[in-house]
A and B are shown apart, each in its own frame.
Chain A
Amino acid sequence: MVPGEDEDRSAVPAGPFTPKQLARLDEALTLSSRETGVQFSLYVGALGATPRRTAEDLHAGLGAAANSVLVAVSPGERRLEIVTGEQTAKRLPDRSCALAALSMTSSLTGGDLVGGIVNGLRMLADQAGKPALAHH
C-alpha cells in the first residue's frame, strides 16, 4: 500500500492509519527522502522472534538498499529497528540512529504511533544532512 498512489477514496482499506495519518506519513517519508537524497522506507508490521534479522532481510529486499534507510516498527511486539545500508551508514552512524530510536520509543510509549514515526524520520533526515555535505 503506497500512499502516494491514487487511491479510491471510497474504499480506504481497513489499515491501521486514517487518511490524514497516511498523508502525514507520506509527507514525512517523501520530504525526508527528497532533502537528503536517501531512500527512507517504513515498514509497520510484525518482526517475529528475531526482529533485527527480519528487519535486515527486509532491507535487503529494497530496490536501492545501499542508499536506503529502513524504519521498521512492530506495534504488536513493541519493537523498532532502524537499518542503514552501505552508503547511508556513513551518513547516519549508529549513534544517530540510536538517538532517533530513543526519540521514537518515547513517543510510542505514549501511544503516538504516527507522531513517533514522523519525528523519527525528521531526526534521521536532520542527522543525515544534505547530499552535498555528506562525507564520502
Chain B
Amino acid sequence: MTVVQTLLIYVGLPALGFAVMAVLVYAGGNGRSPRYRPGRDWNHEDVWYLPRPISSKAPAHSAPELTGGAAPAEGVRRTARGGASGTW
C-alpha cells in the first residue's frame, strides 16, 4: 500500500471514529436548561403536578380545585395530619 493509503486507514479511521463519538457526546442531550445541581439558584416558576383523575366521573381535563397562591387566608381548615421533611 502507498503511504497515503496507510495513513488514511490507520490514522484517519480512528480519528474519524473519535470525532463521531465527540459529536455524539457533546452535542446530544438537553442543552436548553442546565442540569440541576444542589446549591444553584432555582429561577423557575412554582409548578403543580397533579395526577390524571382516577374516577371515571371526572372529565379528562379537570383538576382538583386549588386555592390561588401559596398563602390562603388565616382560619383555613388544617388538613395536614402527618408527613415528613427532608433537606439536602
**In contact, A60 and B37 (Cβ under 8 angstroms):** no
Which B23-53 residues have C-beta < 8 A from chain A?
Answer: 30, 32-33, 35-39, 41-52
Decide if B57 is an interface residue (CB 8 Å cutoff): no
Decide if A128 is an interface residue (CB 8 Å cutoff): no
Distance of A57 Cα from B70 Cα, bound (Å): 7
Which B43-88 residues have C-beta < 8 A from chain A?
Answer: 43-52, 54, 60-61, 63-67, 70-72, 76-88
Closest Cβ–Cβ distance, residue A125 to chain B (whole Å): 11
Which secondary structure dominates chain A's binding surface? mixed
Which A89-133 residues have C-beta < 8 A from chain B?
Answer: 89, 92-94, 97-98, 100-102, 104-106, 108-109, 111, 113
Distance of A65 Cα from B44 Cα, bound (Å): 26
Closest Cβ–Cβ distance, residue A131 to chain B (whole Å): 11
Which residues of A sit under 8 angstroms from B76, Cβ to Cβ? 57, 60-61
**In contact, B85 and A52 (Cβ under 8 angstroms):** yes
**In contact, A61 and B47 (Cβ under 8 angstroms):** no
Closest Cβ–Cβ distance, residue B64 to chain A (whole Å): 3
Which of B38, B44, B66, B70 contacts A108, CB < 8 Å? B38
Which residues of B sit under 8 angstroms from A64, Cβ to Cβ? 64
Which of B64, B80, B82 contacts A60, CB < 8 Å? B80
Can you pick out 27 interface pairs between chain A and chain B where the beta carbons lie within 8 Å of each other? A3-B49, A4-B52, A15-B45, A26-B52, A33-B54, A39-B51, A41-B49, A41-B50, A48-B70, A56-B79, A57-B70, A61-B67, A61-B72, A74-B42, A75-B36, A79-B85, A79-B86, A80-B85, A81-B83, A84-B83, A85-B80, A85-B81, A89-B83, A94-B82, A108-B38, A111-B36, A113-B36
Chain B interfacial positions (CB closer than 8 Å to A): 30, 32-33, 35-39, 41-52, 54, 60-61, 63-67, 70-72, 76-88
Chain A interfacial positions (CB closer than 8 Å to B): 1-6, 14-16, 18, 25-26, 29-30, 32-34, 37, 39-46, 48, 51-52, 54-66, 68-70, 74-86, 88-89, 92-94, 97-98, 100-102, 104-106, 108-109, 111, 113
